[in-house]
Structure 1
Amino acid sequence: MIGRRTLLLASMTALLPSGTVALRGRQPVPRSFDYGPAKLDIYAPEGADGLPVVFFVHGGAWRLGKRSQVDAKPAFLLANGFCFVSIDYRMLPEADVATQAGDVEKAYAYVRANIAQHGGDPNRIVGMGHSAGCHLIALTGMRGGLPRVAALILDDTRAYDLASLAKNGGMVRAYARAFSDRSQWAALSPASYVDGRKHPPTFIAYSRAPGRGADSKAFAERLRATGTEVVLFDGSAYTHMSINRDFGEDGDALTAAALAFLKSTVG
């Protein structure tokens, strides 16, 4: 397990190529595409060819948020040799969570089919999500809805095992509204699909928000039991919002750990 305090800022600097800070001072401009249910943005360095890709799903309690809420992620990742994709998906109450997961899978399929035209490698795509987006990436990644996905970055959710969450008093208002139909809990729980198969390498981060640490550790152990490579990041120094917002900022410990994971899996 990686603790925030155990990572020196110098390690962050060592991972960055020359010119990274200057590049990250300017937010790159994406190209937007309609993938069917909604739109997505593709950020790619000029002249890119065969670069690994980070495919990002935003949070917002399954009812808020938009693809433009990416903070420093695109500039940071482009400067470090990646393409970056951020997607919209239909929100509650227009679409239920099962439909949202289907949207994520459709967006991923579009990216796999088209990212080479923008300089990305369709065989080196990493799924990443925060909060509700973390749940959706975990769900679709574990159930096989992201074919040949290279790795997953799961950033701060409790919605790994919904029945267990309810049993332990964690079905707070936002979760209760998103998962009101108990008959769907098993199908919408990422843990349901951790059934002995080895899954893609997975980076799991958790903040100090209530319950995040315990639920993330339990999910990590469940994955490890299948032989899946798991990196567990102790983000207890972060709030639920800052663990997402600070990604890509200078000296950020989570960024350093996630970049090391990315380099080891698709870099």
Structure 2
Amino acid sequence: MTISRRGFVAGAALAAGGLGLLGFEGTPAQAAARPVTVKYGPSELDIYVPGRSAGRPVLVYVHGGGWIVGNRGDVYSIPDFAARLGLILVSVDYRKLPSTSVPWQAKDVAAAINWVRSNIARYGGDPAKMIVLGYSAGAHLAALTVLDGRAGPVAGLICHDVGTYDIAALNRFYDGSMPLLFRNAFPKAKQWDRLSPANAIGKAAIPPVLVTWSDVKHHPAMSAVFIEKLRSAGASVETYDGSRQYSHRDIIRAIAPGAGGVSKAIEGFIAAHV
């Protein structure tokens, strides 16, 4: 299913009625509560709980930052977006380069998602209704760990604007000379296959997936490679082409309460799968 930038009628209907039918609908003006910070394994995560009802759907957010910078506080308007929909939001930290490596970052993200599954009921969440949203480098880590099974089963996966789905293919797109950011993150070519989410497809059950992309060079093409591999494996895949609408920075800031465009697409995807 392809989601047009011009509208998301079906998703709008789901967002308006789907979460409300579950009894977790927020109000347009609802703001997120202050988060509770919890230690998991090597790092920490923040839990935003919008109310006292039990069995709420859960949105796990994995931030970006080029595998080097960023932290769980880089949530933009996502807490208010989640609160409006009655979702518990969990924003996770993971260790950064150069003090660690991408394989260890993936282990951190998998550990965080598994922690949420085991513990979120204590905060009113339903672990069976867990959507994972990763942005940029966080989308790479989220996709890798969900698709290879280390993160365990989830209700849905949102890959929000990243190009490193197939690292060898990305290197070819750059004529064998990837930018320094990618060379630093993936210095060993022998590891590219096992660090590529596209190559993890089929290792575990594939949840419904939403793939979005901005105007960043090669993101549309790399997203197409990933989408084709998912669909060839029988996955349910929705897409949102933001390449004529958003920069890389804009596409994450666009997720906001009551917003249209990619935010409405994400809202509809969540409503359809929890």
* Interval of TM-score (by shorter of Structure 1 and Structure 2): over 0.9
Post-superposition Cα deviations, 1:181-234, rounded to whole Å, max 9, x if no partner, equal: 111101100011124865110000000111111111121111011111000111
Aligned residue in 1 for 2:110: 105
Distance in structure 1 (CA, Å) of the matches to 2:202 and 2:258 = 39
Displacement after TM superposition at 1:265 (Å)? 0.8
Match of 1:251 in 2: 259
Task: State whether residues 43 and 74 of structure 1, in contact with CA within 8 Å, keep that contact through their aligned partners in structure 2.
Answer: yes
- Once the two structures are superposed, the pairs formed by residues 161-176 of structure 1 within 5 Å of their partners are 161-169=166-174, 171-176=178-183
Question: Does the C-alpha gap of structure 1 residues 77 and 19 become closer, same or farther in structure 2, counting only changes over 3 Å?
Answer: closer
What is the Cα deviation at residue 6 of structure 1?
3.2
- Which of 262, 266, 273 is matched with 1:265 structurally? 273
Give the C-alpha shift of residue 249 in structure 1.
4.4
Structure 1 contact 217–232 (Cα < 8 Å) conserved? no
The one-letter amino acid of 1:153's match is I
Q: Hey, which bits of structure 1, 4+ residues long, moved more than 6 A?
A: 16-19
| Cα offsets for 1:102-155 (capped at 9, x unmatched) | 000111111111100000001111111100000001100110011121110000
Instruction: After superposing the two structures, state which structure 1 stretch, 242-251 or 198-207, moved more.
Output: 242-251
User: CA RMSD of the aligned region, Å?
Assistant: 2.0
Segment of structure 1 superposing worse, 189-198 or 104-113 = 189-198
Mapping 1:68-147, distance limit 5 Å: 68-147=73-152
Cα distance in 2 for partners of 1:90, 1:96 equals 8
Task: Indicate yes or no: 2:12 matched with 1:4.
Answer: no
Inter-partner Cα distance in structure 2 for 1:14 and 1:152 = 17
Q: Distance in 2 between matches of 1:33 and 1:196?
A: 30
Task: Report the CA distance between 1:11 and its aligned residue.
Answer: 4.0
Q: Does 1:51 align with 2:59?
A: no
Mean Cα deviation higher: 86-95 or 170-179:
170-179
From 194, 197, 209, the equivalent of 1:190 is 197
Aligned 8 A contact 1:20 1:76 in 2: no
Q: CA deviation at 1:12?
A: 8.2
Q: Does the residue aligned with 1:152 lie in a helix, a strand or coil?
A: strand
Give the C-alpha shift of residue 40 in structure 1. 0.2
Number of equivalences: 263
CA distance in 2 between counterparts of 1:138 and 1:265 reads 17
Distance in 2 (CA, whole Å) between partners of 1:115 and 1:197 is 23
Whichever residue aligns with residue 210 of structure 1, its letter is: K
Unaligned runs of 5+ residues in structure 2 are none
The 3 A distance-change label for structure 1 pair 5 and 125 is: same
Listed one character per residue, the Cα deviations across residues 9-45 of structure 1 (whole Å, up to 9, x for unaligned) are: x948972878633113xx4201000002110001112
SS in 2 for 1:261: helix
Give the SS at the match of 2:37: strand
Counterpart AA for 1:225: S
Out of 66-75 and 151-160, give the one that drifted further.
Answer: 66-75
Distance in 1, matches of 2:203 and 2:150, equals 17
1:155 alignment partner in structure 2: 160
> Percent same amino acid among aligned pairs?
38
What are the equivalent positions in structure 2 for 1:28-67 lying under 5 Å apart?
28-67=33-72
TM-score normalised by L of structure 1 = 0.93
Displacement, 1:5?
A: 1.9
- Whether the 8 Å contact between 1:48 and 1:118 is mirrored in structure 2 is no
- CA 1:19 to 1:96, structure 2 compared with 1: closer, same or farther past 3 Å? closer
